[in-house]
Structure 1
Amino acid sequence: MNKKGFAALAGATALSLLGAAAANAGGFSRGTADTDILFEQGNFNVRTSVTVVSPERKIVSGASNIGHDYADSYVMPSLAAKFRISDNLSCAGTIANSFGAASSFDAPRAPASGIPFGKLEEKFTVMEYGATCAVGFDLSKGRLSFIAGAYVDDFDYDLSVRHPAFGTGTGTVDLSGTAWGWRAGLAYEIPDIALRGQLLYRSGTKIEASGSTAGALMGPGTAEGQGKLPQSIEAKFQTGIAPGWLAYGSVKWTDWSVNKTLDLTTNVGFNNNNDYYWRDGWTVMGGIGHSFNEKISGTAFLMWDRGTSTGWDLHGDVLTLGTGLIMKDGFGELRLGGGVSRVGSIKETKTTGLYAVGHGWSFSGLAGYSLKW
């Protein structure tokens, strides 16, 4: 087989990472730490990218905001740097936007008497800062690697709301917190045919955040929030299938059933519980990469994510088609990718508002660059 062609495709699977972000698929899932850089050739590698996602979730029925698209666009950075310490040991530092959500709503209408109540904006982001190492051993055929690392989840939450506790104006709540987690796995490679199988576990974390409140007619207050982020297991596989051709795929289980409620309490009389009671998430992805020549390679992939909703909210199935292009220059590799997702319609069945959203589309674009020495 064409070994040079496989080398040109070495980063094709990295472009498929934008699929996981294409529509906030899989509950609050966004990006994934780029630990695959551990298997790149070179003594020192840097890979960075920015993904922009524009989702669509339009309310078609419910108590308010009919016809309103509440899903906000967002930007996800990713950075990974690998150091080859010895022939058998490599370590990488990674930064990724692992979880998040962002929504905005029309101003609530005032009742016949009193002050209007309702959320105006709500968003949270979780940035993951991690360090992961791989220890490899040559076998009679191929190479076996053990993977282990740790990370910190940096949580940030912002809420803008109309509520009597804040008087006649708008109240705000800001929270932040951190939690530690770990990952571990193993991988088997046959580099000559670009074959690699990998199984990777990521632990869950419990977020206990604290912060402040503010309102137009009141002084600052205090706030606290609690929630759980899930553990996950992902199996990935890739192999050369013909000169210049690569096939790859993955299956990921995410323990979203731990996300039952997100609880917010304040000392100003405003408390809020978001009810989810999700089921576990499953994500399946498969793709093909092709090396057109030694400088240009492309990839296309299809991804399906089973929605997590059990009737308490509006997180449904997502189907994503993505493409990517890798272009080598005199210094490194430029990577460009795009994805379009079909987001399924879904309705609430266990809440008082009984909201529903119709089918929607989500679009994503990725630009990145990688270097190696």
Structure 2
Amino acid sequence: MKHLLSSGAALLLTAGAAGAVGLDRSNQDITVLFEDGNYAELSFGRIVPDVTGSDLSPPFPGYDYDDVGEDYSQFGAAVKMDIGTQMSFAVIFDQPFGADVLYGGSPAATALGGTEARLDSGAITALGRFRINDAFSVHAGVVRERLDAEITLSGLAYGTPFDPTAPAPTLNGYNVQLEESDAWGYVVGAAYERPDIALRLAVTYHSSMEHEFETTETLGGVPVNVLNPALSATSTTTVNTPEAINIDFQTGIAQDTLLFANVRYAKYEDVIVSPVFFDTAQDGGLRDMDSLTEIESNTSYSVGVGRRFSDAFSASVAVGYEGEGSDDLVSPLSPTNGNYSLQLGAAYTVGDIVLSGGVRYTWLGDAMPETGTPDEARAEFTDNDALSAGLTVGFRF
């Protein structure tokens, strides 16, 4: 029973990151490190959000936005090997963070038409585990992470269409490109196990990482140094990714039946994206740095039951939950607020090969994208959801 969900539990995360905390996509899962023996896996997930909403009317025309959340894919790979009886080592590739948001509509006739956010990431984690005894172990490692992003602010919520001759140009038509940046971080944790009842409690801390992006800002396609000669054509934007804590738990509750759970806390309140021109346009750069992102720290929960029906076949079901923020006002770049989810997974073993697949349906919380100071609701998003599916191929060697 110990390996009932060796791939299945991780699959449920791979198969449905839509609606996870903040910009999370992979959950930074490291549980492959607890596989017995030598093991490798490849995973693929496809996420299809259905995120729609409407401008508030008044003050805006009431335009309907379709497919604001774009479909995306997730890839992952991992190799774990034993080194003697007490040491093991793993290398994991994942895509920890991401965003794919695009609002349709004219920037001159809708509140948010043309607003767009794209964030791509990739990370390689190398970590080792030392078994102190049969019950306790510690694990730690290093992470090399790559990020790049592009954000466009567009629509009447950001002011009238951009006019370079205006004495105080609005941000309607603002674009920033954050070129690819690499950064180092670390992972550290510990685990308690009772193999006789398939119990494991693992706690893992993921450090924040400081990225320095070469930044190009434009307004209506005009470089910001043309609009403000005091600025350079390019600048550097420093962004810290969120530190996070993962708690992974499992225990046998009956013959061939396993209860499992995951809790993840990510500190997104420290993620500030404040390019020079954007910050200056808000208040002359006189107050604390203004951020393109306004994401609250939050916690996600998942709990489920898995059962082995034969030596070859097992299945699982789980529910997930992420709480809403302090209010319904959110950044237009992330127009949802909390979520519930239902997940189904199955695994089939053929010799040394483990094939596992799963689906997740996520109910996304209602939200009201806002702009301005003080915050003012510009649109309303209700009754949205996401469908995710994933496949993992594992191999023991």
TM class, shorter-length: 0.7 to 0.9
Higher strand fraction (1 or 2)? 1
Preserved contact between residue 307 and residue 315 of structure 1 (Cα < 8 Å): no
TM-score, length basis structure 1: 0.85
- Counterpart of 1:300, as a letter, is V
Q: What is the 5 A alignment of 1:39-54?
A: 39-42=34-37, 44-54=38-48
1:262 corresponds to 2:266: no
Distance in 2 (alpha carbons) for counterparts of 1:326 and 1:65: 47
Displacement of 1:195: 1.0
Counterpart mapping for 1:235-250 below 5 A = 235-250=247-262
Offset at 1:270? 9.1
Question: What RMSD in Å do the two structures reach over aligned CA positions?
Answer: 3.1
Question: Among 310, 319, 337, which residue is 1:316 paired with?
Answer: 337
CA drift of 1:130 comes to 1.0
Q: Which residue of 2 aligns with 1:346?
A: 367
Q: What SS class does the counterpart of residue 15 from structure 1 fall into? A: helix
AA partner of residue 75 (structure 1):
S
Which stretch of the first structure deviates more once superposed, 155-164 or 99-108? 155-164
Partner of 1:73: 71
Counterparts of 2:146 and 2:391 in 1: how far apart (Å)?
Answer: 24
Q: How does 1:83-102 map to 2 (within 5 A)?
A: 83-102=81-100
1:47-67 CA deviation, whole Å, 9 max, x = no partner? 110111111221223347832
Once residues 166 and 179 of structure 1 are traced to their aligned partners in structure 2, the CA distance between those partners, rounded to angstroms, is: 37
- Structure 1 pair 293/147, CA: closer, same or farther in 2 (3 Å)? same
Matched position secondary structure for 1:263: coil
For the 8 Å contact 1:45–1:83, the answer to whether it is kept is yes
Range that drifts further, 64-73 or 195-204:
64-73
Which sections of structure 2, spanning at least 5 residues, go unmatched?
A: 155-160, 166-172, 225-232, 283-288
* Secondary structure of 2:9's aligned partner: helix
Offset at residue 275 of structure 1 (A): 4.4
Distance 1:77 1:165 in 2: 42
- Partner letter of residue 360 of structure 2? G
| 2:136 aligns with one of 131, 139, 144 | 144
Q: Could you tell me which residue of structure 2 aligns to residue 225 of structure 1? A: 237
Structure 2 SS opposite 1:7: coil
Work out whether residues 248 and 262 of structure 2, in 8 Å CA contact, stay in contact via their aligned partners in 1.
Answer: yes
Q: Distance in 1 between matches of 2:377 and 2:131?
A: 54
**Number of the residue aligned with 2:195:** 191
Per-residue CA distance 1:137-186 (angstroms, 9 max, x = gap)? 22xxx42110111102211113457774899xx88653221222111110
Aligned counterparts of 2:275 and 2:197: Cα–Cα separation in 1: 52
Q: Match of 1:37, SS?
A: helix
> Given the alignment, which residue of 204, 208, 217 partners 1:204?
208
SS of alignment partner, residue 302 of structure 2: strand
Structure 2 counterpart of 1:240, which letter?
Answer: G
Q: Does 1:292 align with 2:316?
A: no
- State the 1:276 CA deviation: 4.3
Distance 2:100 2:62 in 1: 16
CA separation in 1, counterparts of 2:105 and 2:92?
A: 39
SS at match of 2:64: coil
* Deviations 1:317-343 (CA, angstroms, capped at 9, x unpaired): 100100111011134111101000001
* Separation in structure 1 between the aligned mates of residue 207 and residue 163 of structure 2, nearest angstrom: 38
Partner of 2:20: 25
SS in 2 for 1:14: helix
Offset at residue 107 of structure 1 (A): 4.3
Q: 1:166 to 1:298 in 2, by over 3 A?
A: farther
Q: What is residue 181 of structure 2 aligned with on the other side? A: 177
Query: Which moved further from structure 2: 118-127 or 66-75?
Result: 118-127
Q: 1:298 to 1:217 in 2, by over 3 A?
A: closer
TM normalised by structure 2 equals: 0.80
Aligned residue for 1:16, secondary structure, equals: helix
**Which residue in the other structure is 2:118 paired with?**
123
Whether the 8 Å CA contact 1:29–1:100 is kept in 2: the answer is yes
Aligned with 2:380 (options 356, 361, 370) = 356
Structure 1 regions of 5+ residues with no counterpart? none
Give SS of 1:99's match: coil
Q: What amino acid sits opposite 1:55 in the alignment?
A: P
**Which of 150, 173, 178 is matched with 1:158 structurally?**
150
